[in-house]
Each structure stands twice: as structure tokens, then as C-alpha cells.
Amino acid sequence: MKSNWQKVALGSDHAGYNLKLDVIKWLIAKDIEFYDFGTFSDDRADYPDFAHTVAKNVNDHKFDAGILICGSGNGVCMTANKYVHVRAALCWNVELTRLARLHNDANILCLPGRFIKTEEALKCVETFLTTNFEGGRHTIRVKKISNIIL
């Protein structure tokens, strides 16, 4: 498997912690460079703290992509999408993940730790990391997301 991304930023709250550990094992096995911004246990933690850190690093181009995990995936996704150069997508199956990359050029994958099985989550991670943005008619739409053109 060849990742399209050189460096991946990871983050989760307590509800996403165990799934994040599985994602880390998968990334190590695939020899993909990553940095874990926390949390580092399943003790209660506030998802915005980790989502802001990952999103800021992706927004500032310090990392090519990010993966965020919380209980529903919604909190980290809402937080990450506050950044102008972030296109975070909440995905719970491979098809949504594939379309988020193909059509929306998503650069942060958000997973619902309490609502997705590990096997499906890892398939989403692989799809996210290996699917290219389709460009073409989608390019103008993606630029409009960040108000680059209006």
C-alpha cells in the first residue's frame, strides 16, 4: 500500500482512544509516518483540545493529513472544520471515505469511535490514505468551501 500522505497527525478523546491505538498499530505496520497528539489514556478528555491541535497542524501544512476520533466523530469534525485549509469528513464506511477524498479533497478523516467496528475503521483509514482527489469539476467546489473563490 502506498500512502498519498507523507506525515499524518492523529488525535482522539477518551472515547476514541482504543480505536486510535488500533490505527497506530496499522500505521506502523504500513510504515506510515505519524505523530500522536493525544489523548494518551482512556481517562475523560475533551475532544476539542486534540481536534484543534491536529487541525492547526494540518491547516499550517506541518502535516499532510489528519485522523481524529471521538465517540460520535461529530465533535472532532466540527472543531477541525473551523480552520480555513481543513476539510474534515465524518466517515463510518469505505464508500463515504472514498467520496470524501475523491470529491471533497478531505484532509482530515473523522471516525466515530463508539459506532464503527475496528475492521471497518481500518478500511476507512486505508481508503483515506490511498485515494486521490479527482479534481476536475470538484476543484471549484472545494475552493468554495474555504471561500477561496466566491
Task: For residue 9, name the pLDDT band (cuts at 50, 70, 90).
Answer: very high
Q: Give residues with Cβ within 8 angstroms of 116, minimum separation 6.
A: 19, 92, 124
Cβ-contact 54, 84 below 8 angstroms: no
**Residue 118 phi, psi (nearest 5):** -55, -45
* Residue 118: alpha-carbon gap to chain centroid: 15
Looking at residue 74, its pLDDT comes to 98
Report how far residue 54's alpha carbon sits from residue 42's, in angstroms, rounded to the nearest whole number. 18
Average pLDDT over residues 71-79: 98
Q: What burial letters (b/e) apply to 82-93, b meaning 16+ CB within 10 Å?
A: ebeebbbbbbbe
Concerning whether 70 is annotated as a catalytic residue, the answer is: yes
Task: For residue 102, name the pLDDT band (cuts at 50, 70, 90).
Answer: very high
Instruction: State the catalytic residue, choosing from 14, 52, 61, 70.
Output: 70
SS3 35: strand
pLDDT digits over 111-135, tens only?
999 999 999 999 999 999 999 999 8
Instruction: State the catalytic residue, choosing from 77, 91, 103, 124.
Output: 103
ω into 130 cis (within 30 of 0)? no
Which domains are seen in the chain, by residue range? 7-145 (3.40.1400.10)
Concerning whether 124 is annotated as a catalytic residue, the answer is: no
